[in-house]
Structure 1
Amino acid sequence: MLITILKFLPFILFMLVFLFGGHYFLYRSFVGLFGINDNTIKNVIFIVLFALSVGIFLSMAIAHISQSWPARLFYIITASWLGIAMNLLLAALAIRLFIWLIKLTGANFNIPLFTVLIFLAALVFSAYGFWSAFHPQIKNINISIKNLPREWQGKTIVQLSDIHLGHIHGAGFMQDVVDKTNAQNPDLILITGDLFDGMDGDLNVFIKPLNELRAKQGVFYVTGNHETYLGTNEALRILNQTHIRILNNKMIILDGLQIIGLAYPEDNITGKIVNESALLDSLNFDRTKPSILMYHAPANMDQAGRSGISLQLSGHAHKGQIWPFEFFTWLVYGQYSYGLHVIGDFSIYTAGGVGTWGPPMRTTGQPEIPVLRLNGG
């Protein structure tokens, strides 16, 4: 546990600075932009914002040790506020930049009205994000695979990634995902990690909906980074009570198509596998035959391509989830942070994900359930 904390210490320190610094900036912005001079009102705003910033960390700590509905509600409220606060922070920055430009040009403009409208727009944007987070859309994608067996021509695979089941995305949400998935009548369902959010809780409630996933060739799963936060054994304990097959560092051949699953490495922030080629060789992978690799992070593409993998299915980046974080995921994973990319005989599809991490908000586009239709290359 101590080693894990030390690994994430830079991230924790960054979050502390971001949360307390961001909330203080919001306080100064509210007081300055709205011309609040009354000390009582200023103190109330400061205390409320400080309490919310502390509450975000406190709720996460409580969520790890309590399964009660008050703990879950507390976490949902503070996680939701975090999303709203980020949008308000961006709005405050935009307003301050606009005011600076107005002063620079000497133009006459109704700044108070503009301030109110921008903050209202941030709230509306947040409301859209909350709605979007709970309405995953079906996304149809055509995939070409060289030497695809005749049995797989025109068949469909549903990829489920980053559902993040836990305090926010509960059994009802999972049931909705199951219903939408089964309605596609898929030949195969592949779950590419982060099925669980990483919070402790009564995960047994997910056994029933997970058991209702149906595909002609079966349902397969590999772990993501959030399963390592939860404890991989706990995630596998739940899945072992379902018909879902765990494919961590394993391979199965279905009608001539190799399906390979690689587990997300424990205590690994980047998601890089040091020697993926050797790991694939240990599974008796045949590079001359068509294959699909399930790996949570859009990483190791160079190794996968050189090893003869036909298609890699990943997730992890959430398409940024909340604007403007898609720019940060692009900095880490480049063009592979989202969507379909073809490099010779190798392809990778990085799904935007079904659920959310942290704020239950999606402002970079709706979450998705990809339906992949296979064709010969």
Structure 2
Amino acid sequence: MFIKIENDHSNVKVTLKLNKAFAALSALSGVSALFYARMFERKWLEVTSHRVEVHNLPTAWQGFRFAWMSDLHLGYKPSYEPVSATFERVIAAKPDLILLGGDYMDRGKWKPVCDELFGKLAATGIPIVGIWGNHDYFGNRRDPDKNLEHFERLGIRILVNEALCIEQQGIPQYFIGLDDSIKGVPDPKGAKKRLPNGIKPLVTLLHNPNYIRRLPENYSEVVLSGHTHGGQLNPLPLHRNLNWLRYSTGKHHSLYPTGWYNVNGNRLYTGRGVGVTHWPLRFGSRPELAIFELQPCN
């Protein structure tokens, strides 16, 4: 198709029409992306599966499955639907253990919805272990203590620089849960002192993946983190360098926004989390429930 330009006046008219068409198309694309991010992707759960190979894994632990979910942000209404759907999916998956990565309450205060959803999870009888995130320290000074009492009432164990021994057919493995690195005081060396000498923890729970750089070398077989929401808003294809985490260079900036990393001999997995915060939107970062299965190295 050819456009014939008669004079400068015609050229201006054509340019204006093209500019208006481009602006209209851009506006429509933006509105469509916003609608998709709010109404669809925010609720579009992805269940990811991961095979974790461990040297000298005892036979009793081969095939052991644990679920990892973090950043629920309950109390922030747009988080309810994805969190509720995730709890239903993890119950249906029947893992041997459920691990929680913190940021349970968006503003640190226990809500009736927490009783509803965590009560449903606890009723399964599946062991549940978690850690604190930075949002769990928001609110009043005594809220973390009160929230800990709520979790204990439901039979959910929250580890704060603690180690937990879990046995399969009498064979023990150790899990460590560290305090949040922004609002709390993580103590990886102190937590590891609770293990028998020479024993390496199977899994370490760590809310903020940035703290991986401060873990001792070869500290744990696997380190699980959350906090980042996978960026939450990722303008593809620039998501590696431009997302809501990177709009500021403060404590939310992360070199490990989503997926697997190997840092100082520690295998780190950063989950994308389930809920949302700040904005009721997800784009290029679907909510995630991660399921891990232990297998021996070939």
Q: Match of 1:371, SS?
A: strand
Q: Are the structure 2 counterparts of residues 216 and 343 from structure 1 closer, same or farther at C-alpha, using a change threshold of 3 Å? A: farther
2:269 maps to: 349
Select the residue among 295, 300, 305 that pairs with 2:211. 300
**Worse overlay, 361-370 or 258-267:** 258-267
Deviations 1:64-118 (A, max 9, x none): xxxxxxxxxxxxxxxxxxxxxxxxxxxxxxxxxxxxxxx9xx9676111211111
Q: Is this contact kept in 2: 1:338–1:349, CA < 8 A?
A: yes
Q: Is this contact kept in 2: 1:149–1:257, CA < 8 A?
A: no
Which residue identity lines up with residue 90 of structure 2 in the other structure? T
Q: Is this contact kept in 2: 1:352–1:368, CA < 8 A?
A: yes
Which residue identity lines up with residue 258 of structure 1 in the other structure? Y
TM-score, normalised via structure 1 length: 0.63
Which residue identity lines up with residue 337 of structure 1 in the other structure? P
Which residue identity lines up with residue 121 of structure 1 in the other structure? S
State the distance in 2 between where 1:314 and 1:285 align.
Answer: 24
State the distance in 1 between where 2:74 and 2:189 align.
Answer: 33
Q: Which has the higher strand share?
A: 2
Deviations 1:16-51 (A, max 9, x none): xxxxxxxxxxxxxxxxxxxxxxxxxxxxxxxxxxxx
State the distance in 1 between where 2:36 and 2:129 align.
Answer: 33
Q: Which has the higher helix share?
A: 1
Which residue identity lines up with residue 257 of structure 1 in the other structure? Q
Deviations 1:334-366 (A, max 9, x none): 2x2210124586311100111111111100221
Q: Are the structure 2 counterparts of residues 236 and 288 from structure 1 closer, same or farther at C-alpha, using a change threshold of 3 Å? A: closer
Superposition RMSD on alpha carbons, in Å? 2.8
2:176 maps to: 260
2:3 maps to: none
Q: Is this contact kept in 2: 1:163–1:195, CA < 8 A?
A: yes
* Structure 2 residue 65 is matched with structure 1 residue 145: no
1:54 maps to: none
How far has the Cα of 1:282 moved from its partner? Answer: 3.7
Task: Report sequence identity in percent.
Answer: 23
Q: Are the structure 2 counterparts of residues 348 and 235 from structure 1 closer, same or farther at C-alpha, using a change threshold of 3 Å? A: same
Which residue identity lines up with residue 117 of structure 1 in the other structure? L
How far has the Cα of 1:307 moved from its partner? Answer: 5.2
State the distance in 1 between where 2:198 and 2:103 align.
Answer: 28
1:116 maps to: 24
State the distance in 1 between where 2:229 and 2:174 align.
Answer: 27
Q: Is this contact kept in 1: 2:52–2:295, CA < 8 A?
A: yes
How far has the Cα of 1:226 moved from its partner? Answer: 0.4
Unaligned stretches of 5+ residues in structure 2: 1-10
Q: Match of 1:206, SS?
A: helix
Deviations 1:262-284 (A, max 9, x none): 1214636xxx85xx443234433
Unaligned stretches of 5+ residues in structure 1: 1-102
State the distance in 1 between where 2:151 and 2:144 align.
Answer: 11
State the distance in 1 between where 2:240 and 2:108 align.
Answer: 24
Q: Is this contact kept in 2: 1:192–1:224, CA < 8 A?
A: yes
State the distance in 1 between where 2:98 and 2:78 align.
Answer: 20
* Structure 2 residue 38 is matched with structure 1 residue 163: no
State the distance in 1 between where 2:73 and 2:284 align.
Answer: 17
State the distance in 2 between where 1:345 and 1:257 align.
Answer: 19
2:44 maps to: 135
Q: Are the structure 2 counterparts of residues 169 and 125 from structure 1 closer, same or farther at C-alpha, using a change threshold of 3 Å? A: closer
Q: Is this contact kept in 2: 1:145–1:290, CA < 8 A?
A: no
Select the residue among 154, 170, 185 that pairs with 1:242. 154
